[in-house]
Amino acid sequence: MADQNIIEHHLEGILAGKDIFLVGVKVDNNNKIIVHIDTPEGISIGDCARVSRELEEKLDRDREYFALEVSSPGLDSPFRVIEQYKKNVGKKINLVKTDGEKLEGVLKKTGENGIVLEMTRGRKGQPKDPELLELSFAEIKSGRASIQF
pLDDT at 127 over 70: no
If asked whether residues 66 and 99 sit together in one domain, one would say no
Residue 116 belongs to domain spanning: 82-145
Half-sphere exposure of 28 (CA within 13 A, CB side): 7
Total domain count for the chain?
A: 2
Q: Is residue 106 part of a domain?
A: yes
Q: Domain containing 19 — which CATH number?
A: 3.30.300.20
d(CA 40, CA 85): 10
Q: What is the pLDDT of residue 124?
A: 64
Does residue 109 lie within any of the structural domains?
Answer: yes
**For residue 75, pLDDT beyond 90:** no
Whether the Cβ atoms of residue 94 and residue 125 lie closer than 8 Å to each other:
no
Dump strand ranges (E) for 20-149. 21-27, 32-38, 67-71, 92-97, 102-110, 114-121, 127-136, 140-145
Q: Is residue 76 part of a domain?
A: no
Q: Does 101 share its domain with 137?
A: yes
